[in-house]
Amino acid sequence: MPHTASSAVLFSRLMAKSRLRHLQLLVAVADEGNLRRAAADVGLSQPAATQALSELEELLEVELFERHAKGMRLTMAGTALIPVIRHALEALQASTESLAALREGVSGLLRLGVITAVTSAVLGERVLAFCARHPAMRVELVEDSAVHLLQELQAGTLNMVLCRRPNPVPARLHFERVRADEACVIAGPGHPLARRRGLRLEDAAGYCWMRPPRVVWIREIFDDFFENAGITPKLHPVSTASLGPLPEILRDNQTLALCPATLARTLVRWQLVVTLDLDVGAPTGEIGLLCPQESLEDPVSREFIDALRVVEPQPAIAVPSVKLNA
């Protein structure tokens, strides 16, 4: 059967004719690649699941899955449709959770997506202070990559996302700047360069460097840092942007890493790392809240945005800002 309709048209037909469990079945088959396991996941017998899938494909006039010896895989039509169904189900789940919270006496539920680099540096006491002023509000934090969080925001399963400014800002969304950010070099507290001042890149080039993953904004800064100096770094075998393993890796006191200053301040405050007096000379970035335009008209959302924008005091150990003379 040819792929003749857009995902939006197919989804409209589904919503008009199908049951919720049948939509869940489609997502389960896409995830499992196996009809029997998918049927069990959604509480259907295999014959009922087979019939439901056949009826849905007949309704849509497209094949959603290819059958093969080891199971099932998405067709082009299925690939176009499943993300739409998945987001709709997630939005419905988020709505039912909000209704459940209201029944429990909560006046509102704010779902905030956050990227790793700003989870503790920008939030922390500010969110607690906001909750103290609104004891009937519930704030749910979801940590993930900026790409996934943006998808969830556009699908309606998140109210706001705390992230770096996207370029461009998607239509119907608003970016509210909270604070500036920059890149800095960090190391374990016992690193030989920890207490030296006026460092040059040549001083650090002999050590092992952790290269940021491609999905992290400072990856390009890292590559430019060394390329502009004409130096090839000795790379650590692990590349991560996660807060958890980063301090553990730097404990060898021989490895260096480039990371956002917002994350570095948190790690320094916990005495897990130190910042080196070696600046990459990178442009300052922006961290802010990404939200639907209509959120700006909601007083509580507006207050939450304002609470995060307050300038926070600098930590006792400041991130140095000395221009690099490579």
What CATH number does residue 166 fall under? Answer: 3.40.190.10
Q: Are residues 150 and 196 in the same domain?
A: no
Instruction: Tell me if 150 is assigned to some domain.
Output: yes
Note the pLDDT of residue 215.
76
Instruction: Tell me if 175 is assigned to some domain.
Output: yes
Rg (CA), the chain: 24
Return the minimum-mean-pLDDT range out of 102-106, 222-226, 314-318.
314-318
Cβ–Cβ under 8 Å, residues 124 and 144: no
Distance CA 155, CA 255 (A): 40
Q: Are residues 231 and 294 in the same domain?
A: no
33, 53, 88 - which closes a domain? 88
Instruction: Tell me if 245 is assigned to some domain.
Output: yes
Share of the chain above pLDDT 70, in %: 84
CB atoms within 10 A of CB 261: 23
Instruction: Tell me if 163 is assigned to some domain.
Output: yes
Q: Are residues 221 and 301 in the same domain?
A: no
Domain that holds residue 77: 7-88
Q: Are residues 31 and 60 in the same domain?
A: yes
For residue 191, give the 3-state DSSP assignment. coil
88, 119, 138 - which closes a domain? 88
Q: Are residues 82 and 20 in the same domain?
A: yes
Cβ–Cβ under 8 Å, residues 307 and 110: no
Instruction: Tell me if 297 is assigned to some domain.
Output: yes
Q: What is the pLDDT of residues 50-102, one digit of tens each?
A: 999 998 888 888 899 998 888 899 999 889 888 888 877 877 776 677 666 66
Note the pLDDT of residue 102.
64
Rama region for 111: left / alpha / beta (φ>0; ψ in -120 to 50; rest)? beta
Point out which residues pair with 176 in neighbouring strands: 289
Count up the domains in the chain and report the number: 3
Distance CA 108, CA 101 (A): 7
Q: Are residues 147 and 167 in the same domain?
A: yes
Instruction: Tell me if 96 is assigned to some domain.
Output: no
Q: Are residues 164 and 191 in the same domain?
A: no
Cβ–Cβ under 8 Å, residues 28 and 40: no
Note the pLDDT of residue 306.
86
Note the pLDDT of residue 316.
40
Q: Are residues 166 and 296 in the same domain?
A: yes
Q: Are residues 298 and 165 in the same domain?
A: yes
Q: Give the global pTM.
A: 0.63
CATH code, domain carrying 19: 1.10.10.10
Q: Are residues 27 and 171 in the same domain?
A: no
Residue carrying structure tokens 């209704």: 99
Would you say residue 233 has pLDDT above 50? yes
Q: What is the pLDDT of residues 251-292, one digit of tens each?
A: 999 999 998 888 888 889 889 999 999 988 877 778 889 999
Instruction: Tell me if 63 is assigned to some domain.
Output: yes
Q: Are residues 39 and 170 in the same domain?
A: no
Give the strand order in the sheet containing 234-235: 234-235, 208-210, 255-260, 183-187, 274-275
Distance CA 290, CA 311 (A): 18
Q: Are residues 293 and 150 in the same domain?
A: yes
Query: Which helix or strand (DSSP H or E) is residue 139 part of?
Result: strand 137-143
Cβ–Cβ under 8 Å, residues 274 and 187: yes
Note the pLDDT of residue 172.
92
Distance CA 181, CA 22 (A): 46
Confidence of residue 5 (pLDDT cuts 50, 70, 90): low
Cβ–Cβ under 8 Å, residues 182 and 261: yes
Confidence of residue 320 (pLDDT cuts 50, 70, 90): very low
For residue 237, give the 3-state DSSP assignment. coil
Q: What is the pLDDT of residues 107-164, one digit of tens each?
A: 678 889 998 777 665 677 788 888 888 888 888 888 888 888 998 898 888 999 999 8
Cβ–Cβ under 8 Å, residues 23 and 45: no
- Helices in the chain by DSSP H: which ranges? 7-17, 20-32, 35-42, 46-60, 76-103, 125-133, 146-155, 201-204, 218-229, 245-250, 261-269, 299-309
Instruction: Tell me if 228 is assigned to some domain.
Output: yes
